[in-house]
């Protein structure tokens, strides 16, 4: 194969699921902590609304390329209130999921041979799209507290650099980037004429009350900042693919070209569901957030089970815990062993770093949003039984 898709790796989750082939979990159920996507359906009131709007004629027709105007307006209003800044309807586009939002943005920013700075461990779909776009991923390793260093990023900027990408709360590490670190990256990007792409897919589960950063209060923020968001985690709409971009109108005009050539418009049903969620599910989402906090606390409370075996907790927050294992094997070998011996499916750190990066060989991501606090205890007990 000589096409662009040959320039990147196979989808990591697909690879991980292949490890389950031929396995029998009838005696002990699999604990699947490989993905963060909600496995429960949307709440009953939202499903009832979706059943109602499925009968509306325009639900089945093409819509505006940049999304339903009422949804764009509501998200602009919601974002303005959350970040205590000013976001207008014209600065919002709706996309078919947040992955498409990232793809569209990169398409407007980069040509073949350009570079984008991506903190590692990275969200692997970001790396895949850069590879397929002919864009070089400039890795910015995060160690210790798993927070990227703006000063180190500055040293990696070249004449081909077009953007810096941040994901907060982070996937895969879970960590929430401090507001001052985010501000420092914004100031760096602005001073060098770069875009700062900040993916806030998991912002609804941030532990901080109030704005997670102050970027929307900056004068002319739209000249530097490109924010990505997803409704999938908030309202369990993963199968309906509804994401968003917040940026300047000029860039959205370019993004419109990309979207029109790919999907023409986002799903009308998904958009109507997202709009209803923004309008009606604030209290429900607040309870979901508290449940995630409870599971996060359960990770902290019960991690000593693994710590006693030499494991380390490197990052924690939103949907993810990022661990370092104590064994003299690669994380991929260990992940396969967890399937065989513990009936646990988790993703190895090697899936979140560039090929050949040894840092990921000792790491493992646990996506805990789909397991109960009680099951977290069982998970750690099973993992603790695995040894080398």
Torsion sign across C-alpha atoms 333, 334, 335, 341: positive
Mean pLDDT of 32-39: 90
Which pLDDT score is estimated for 284?
A: 97
Write the pLDDT tens digit of every residue in 99-135. Answer: 999 999 999 999 999 999 999 999 999 999 999 999 9
Q: CA–CA separation, 175 vs 149, rounded Å?
A: 14
CATH 3.90.1150.10 range(s) for the chain read 4-41+284-384
Which pLDDT score is estimated for 358?
A: 86
Write the pLDDT tens digit of every residue in 5-14. Answer: 989 989 999 9
Which pLDDT score is estimated for 387?
A: 82
Question: pLDDT-based confidence at 198, cuts 50/70/90?
Answer: very high
pTM of the model: 0.96
Architecture in CATH of 58-281 = 3-Layer(aba) Sandwich (3.40)
CATH dotted code for 4-41+284-384? 3.90.1150.10
Which pLDDT score is estimated for 260?
A: 98
Q: CA–CA separation, 105 vs 226, rounded Å?
A: 8
Write the pLDDT tens digit of every residue in 56-85. Answer: 999 999 999 999 999 999 999 999 999 999
To which residue do tokens 């805990």 refer?
A: 368
Which pLDDT score is estimated for 209?
A: 85
Write the pLDDT tens digit of every residue in 202-221. Answer: 999 999 888 999 999 999 99
Which pLDDT score is estimated for 21?
A: 93
With beta carbons less than 8 A apart as the criterion, state whether 105 and 249 touch: no
Radius of gyration of the chain (CA): 21
Mean pLDDT of 183-193: 98
pLDDT at 1 over 80: no
Mean pLDDT of the chain: 96
201 compared with 388, residue with greater pLDDT: 201
CATH 3.40.640.10 range(s) for the chain read 58-281
With beta carbons less than 8 A apart as the criterion, state whether 267 and 64 touch: no
Which pLDDT score is estimated for 229?
A: 98
Write the pLDDT tens digit of every residue in 172-182. Answer: 999 999 999 99
Question: pLDDT-based confidence at 359, cuts 50/70/90?
Answer: confident
Mean pLDDT of 123-148: 96
Q: CA–CA separation, 255 vs 317, rounded Å?
A: 31
């Amino acid at each position: 194969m000589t096409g662009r898709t040959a320039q990147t790796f196979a989808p990591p989750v697909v690879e991980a699921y292949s490890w389950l082939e031929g396995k029998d979990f009838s005696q002990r159920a699999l604990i699947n902590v490989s993905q963060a996507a909600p496995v429960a359906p949307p709440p009953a009131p939202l499903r009832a609304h979706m059943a109602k709007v499925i009968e509306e004629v325009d639900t089945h027709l093409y819509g505006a390329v940049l999304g339903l105007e009422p949804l764009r307006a509501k998200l602009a209003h919601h974002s303005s209130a959350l970040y205590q800044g000013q976001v207008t309807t014209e600065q919002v586009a709706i996309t078919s999921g947040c992955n498409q939002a990232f793809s569209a943005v990169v398409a407007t920013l980069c040509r073949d041979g350009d570079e984008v700075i991506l903190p590692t461990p990275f969200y692997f779909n970001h790396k895949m799209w850069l590879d397929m776009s002919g864009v070089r991923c400039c890795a910015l390793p995060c160690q210790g507290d798993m927070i990227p260093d703006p000063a180190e990023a500055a040293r990696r900027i070249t004449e081909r650099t077009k953007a810096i990408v941040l994901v907060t709360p982070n996937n895969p590490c879970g960590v929430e980037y401090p507001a001052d670190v985010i501000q420092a990256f914004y100031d760096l990007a602005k001073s060098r004429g770069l875009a700062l792409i900040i993916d806030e897919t998991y912002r609804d589960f941030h532990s901080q009350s109030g704005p997670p950063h102050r970027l929307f209060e900056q004068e002319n923020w739209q000249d530097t900042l490109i924010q990505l968001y997803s409704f999938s985690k908030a309202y369990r709409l993963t199968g309906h693919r509804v994401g968003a971009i917040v940026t300047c109108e000029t860039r959205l005009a370019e993004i419109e070209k990309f979207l029109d050539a790919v999907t023409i418009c986002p799903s009308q049903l998904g958009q109507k569901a997202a709009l209803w969620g923004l309008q009606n599910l604030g209290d429900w989402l607040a309870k979901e957030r508290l449940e995630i906090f409870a599971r996060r606390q359960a990770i902290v409370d019960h991690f000593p089970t693994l710590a006693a075996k030499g494991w380390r907790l490197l990052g924690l927050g939103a949907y993810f815990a990022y661990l370092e294992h104590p064994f003299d094997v690669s994380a991929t070998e260990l992940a396969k062993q967890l399937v065989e011996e513990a009936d646990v499916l988790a993703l190895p750190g090697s899936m979140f770093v560039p090929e050949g990066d040894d840092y990921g060989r000792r790491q493992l991501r646990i996506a805990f949003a789909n397991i109960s606090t009680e099951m977290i205890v069982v998970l750690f007990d099973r993992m603790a039984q695995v040894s080398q």
